[in-house]
Structure 1
Amino acid sequence: MNKIVSSSLLVLSLVFFNSCKEGNASEKVKKENIITAKKRDVEITKGSAEIQFDITEYDFGTVNEGEIVEAKFMVTNSGKTDLVISNVQASCGCTVPVWPRTPIKPGDSAEVLANFNTAGKPNRQAKTLTLITNTARGREVLKLKGSVTPRVYTDDEIRKRIKPLKKN
C-alpha cells in the first residue's frame, strides 16, 4: 500500500513539474494577435459615444439639516453614436439619482439629477454618483459636496423623543 501511495505521489510530482517547464502564457500569445486587438480597440473607440458634462462637481454650499438638495448635471453626447446611461449608482441611500432612460443622440443633451436628503446627515458632506455608460471609459463619476447645519432641537422636542423607563 505504501509503495502505491509513493508511486502515485512521484507520478503527480513529475506531471506538475513538467507542466511548468513550457514557459508563461504571455510567451504563447502571437504578436500579430496583439496588433489586431489594438487596431480593433481603436476602431471601437472611434465610433463610441462620448460624454461631456457642464460640471462634474456640484457644491450646494450650506443648508439646514432636513432639507433636500437637488443637483443638476447637464450631459451632452459629443460622440458619433447614441449615448446610453444604463445605470447610476449613488454612494449612499440618502442620494437618489434620476437619469434619462432613453438613448441620447449625438449632439443632444439631457439632465442627470441627484436628490440628496440631508436628514440625519449633519456637517460636511461629500457624495458621488457613478454613471455606467457605453463610452470608452464605461464609468463616469459626478460629485456633490457641501455643509449641512445640524438641526437644533428644543427642550420639548427632546422630551417627546425620550421614552420613560418601564418599571418592572
Structure 2
Amino acid sequence: MGKVTTMFLKIAVILLGVPVLALCIFLVPELADVSVELLPEFGAIKVLVYMVFDASAIPFYFALYQAFKLLRNIDKNKAFSDLSVDALKKIKYCAITISVLHLLALPLFYLFAQADDAPGVVLVGLAVPFASVVIAVFAAVLQKLLQDAIAIKSENDLTV
C-alpha cells in the first residue's frame, strides 16, 4: 500500500510541473505584451515580467524536486531522517521565494485591473503569494514535527 501511495504522489508531483511550464511558455509572453501596451513609457517592463514570472518557476521546480526526494526517502524507510528535514526546509524557502517574487509583480496586476476596470484581478494576483505562504507555513510545521519525532526516536534508540 505504501509504495502505491508514494508512486501516486510522485506522479502527481511530476504532473504539477506541466501546467507551470505551459504557463511560462504561453501566458508569460502574453502578460509581457499586455504590460508593454499598458506602460509603453517603461521600456523594461517586458523584461521585468519575464524575470519575475520565469524566475519564480525556478524555485517551484526545485521545490518539486525536493518533494520528489522526500517521497523517495519515504520509499526507502528514511522518512525520519535529517535528509527529510532538509528537504522540507528547502521547500519552505522555495515557497517564500515564490511568494516574494509574485508580490513584486502585484503592481502589474493593479495596472491590469485599472486598464480593464476589473478590481478582482488584484485578488487573482494575490492567489499565488497566498498559496505559497500557506505552503511555507505547512512545510515549517512539518519540519518542526519531523525534527521532534527524530529527537524522540533517537532518545528511544539510546534507552534500548
TM-score by length of 2: 0.24
Query: Higher strand share goes to which structure?
Result: 1
Q: Which of the two has higher C-alpha Rg?
A: 1
Whichever structure has more helix as a proportion of its residues is: 2
